[in-house]
């Protein structure tokens, strides 16, 4: 007699939705596709600017069918918002980790200077970030992720000072130096970043 195949039971969620292994697999695949499309959007922005972003261009960059981008991101705004959110969240997370690790001493400034030097020496990704960052200046609805980044810088600064003016100066210094790094053939090195950061924080 042939054996009966036992299917894994469906798992109800707190909201009452039933998830089976098959649906969970589809959700994971969908999330991976979205991640691939966001990364592709950043690559297109770095190479062609925001104006170069289209569903077709992003799907082609990701090596996916032309319909994939429109399926996961209904509008170009959705793609740009997803890309900006990814950048700002990653940058903010790195800054917050540094804030947690420093005790307010010079070693923490050295670590931040080394991170900034590494970022500015990979100009493609940084250029894409600032293209999107400046887009948020024109589009208030995109400013949530940029605020997260600025709040992370402030959290780092408060490990060194309670002076709100110095904390605000730190925000301007970091963004300013990174932007200047895109405009010169010789971006700042870690020692140059560290000298400025020490001047602001110590």
pTM equals 0.82
For 66, the enclosing helix (H) or strand (E) is none
pLDDT in tens, 67-104: 999 999 999 999 999 999 999 999 999 999 999 999 99
Contact call for residues 121 and 36 (beta carbons, < 8 A): no
Q: Measure the CA–CA gap between 157 and 138, rounded to whole angstroms.
A: 27
Pairwise CA distance, residues 114 & 110, whole Å: 6
Domains observed in the chain: 20-74 (1.10.10), 77-202 (1.10.357.10)
Identify the helix (H) or strand (E) that includes residue 12: strand 11-12
pLDDT at 142 over 60: yes
pLDDT digits (tens, 9 = 90+) for 17-64: 554 555 567 767 778 899 999 999 999 999 999 999 999 999 999 999
1 against 68, higher pLDDT: 68
């Amino acid at each position: 007699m042939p054996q009966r195949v036992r299917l894994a039971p469906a798992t109800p969620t707190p909201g009452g939705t039933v998830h089976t292994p098959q649906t969970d697999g589809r959700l994971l695949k969908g999330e991976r596709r979205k991640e691939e499309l966001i990364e592709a959007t950043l690559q297109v922005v770095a190479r062609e600017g925001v104006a170069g972003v289209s569903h077709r261009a992003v799907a082609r960059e990701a090596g996916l069918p032309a319909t994939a981008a429109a399926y996961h991101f209904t509008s170009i705004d959705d793609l740009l918002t997803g890309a900006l959110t990814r950048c700002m969240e990653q940058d903010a997370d790195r800054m917050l980790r540094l804030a947690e690790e420093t005790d307010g001493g010079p070693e923490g400034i050295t670590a931040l200077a080394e991170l900034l030097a590494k970022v500015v020496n990979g100009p493609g990704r940084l250029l894409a970030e600032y293209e999107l960052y400046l887009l948020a200046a024109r589009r208030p609805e995109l400013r949530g992720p940029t605020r997260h980044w600025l709040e992370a810088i402030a959290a780092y600064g408060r490990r060194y000072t309670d002076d709100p003016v110095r904390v605000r100066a730190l925000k301007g210094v970091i963004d300013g130096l990174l932007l200047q790094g895109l405009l010169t053939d010789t971006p700042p090195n870690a020692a140059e970043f560290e000298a400025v950061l020490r001047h602001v924080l110590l």
